[in-house]
Homo-oligomer: A and B are copies of this chain.
Amino acid sequence: MNASVNMPITRERIVNASWELLRECGIEQFTMRKLAKQLDIKAASLYWHFQSKQQIFQFLANEIAQKVVLSAQNEGDWKEQLYRFGNHFRNQLEKYPCSAHLMIQTVPSGAQYIDLINHMLKIVEPLPISDRRKFSSIACVLNFVLSFELDKYQQHKNDVAMKGVRQEIEPTVGNLPEPLRRMYLNGVFSDLGSDSMFQTGLKILIFGIEQLSMTEKET
């Protein structure tokens, strides 16, 4: 598959091939044997460079975290920063296949992951709330962005699975309960992973964090 015939196998080449394989097959079809084939070696050879499949995934997740932190920029007050960061984070996730899956499956022990958390903590640092609440706040944002991408991936998978099998879902529209039915007919579901939905969610979170700080101040 790979053009390079005799280039030595490096960690970097394995990582590149992994991204390619993830893009082609998705994470559930990602296989050590397929990965090896892509590099024109045998599966067993991979274990000289990485001690397990899980470790490869960890490495990929760390790479994403690193990219996110490195290319992030902080300007403006905490609200602007958090808003910008949310969007930036999402943009980065979209560049890598299965990125959200990788980050969720991963134990957040890598240095890059820690940097990511810390970067977010610094944004909410000036807020007049307890450390616990700061942490809760950024956990919300992090989980929101990740699960947003996760949902989009799931939905895309459903879409390709349902290809042409629309007749199985169409008849059920009739007995959808209200208000779901109305929303479905208004096409609310067609923009399930859309940008506007993301912006709304992020807005909710930032509004909420702001409000949390304000009520805290009073007490």
A154 vs chain B, min Cβ distance (A) = 7
**What residues of chain B lie closer than 8 Å to A148, measured between beta carbons?**
143
Contacts A132-B191, A143-B151 known; A212 to B200 CB distance under 8 Å? yes
Chain A contact residue count (CB 8 A cutoff): 54
Q: Once the chains bind, are A114 and B205 in contact (CB under 8 Å)?
A: no
Contact of A144 among B140, B151, B209, B210 (CB under 8 A): B140
- Over the window 132-152 of chain A, the binary record of Cβ atoms lying under 8 Å from chain B Cβ atoms (1 yes, 0 no) is 111111011001101110110
How far, in angstroms, from A147 to B139 measured CA to CA in the complex? 10
Contacts A197-B139, A211-B211 known; A183 to B114 CB distance under 8 Å? no
**What residues of chain B lie closer than 8 Å to A135, measured between beta carbons?**
183, 188-189, 197
A6 at the interface (CB under 8 A from B): no
How far, in angstroms, from A189 to B178 measured CA to CA in the complex? 42
Q: Which residues of A contact B (CB under 8 A)?
A: 104, 107, 109, 114-115, 117-118, 121-122, 125, 131-137, 139-140, 143-144, 146-148, 150-151, 154, 158, 169, 176-180, 182-183, 186, 188-189, 191, 196-197, 200-201, 203-212
A181 vs chain B, min Cβ distance (A) = 9
How far, in angstroms, from A39 to B133 measured CA to CA in the complex? 47
**Closest CB pairs A-B (n = 10):** A208-B208, A204-B208, A207-B211, A136-B200, A207-B208, A143-B147, A118-B180, A118-B177, A131-B183, A147-B147
A–B Cβ pairs within 8 angstroms, 9 of them = A107-B154, A109-B169, A122-B179, A131-B179, A136-B204, A139-B201, A140-B204, A207-B212, A211-B211
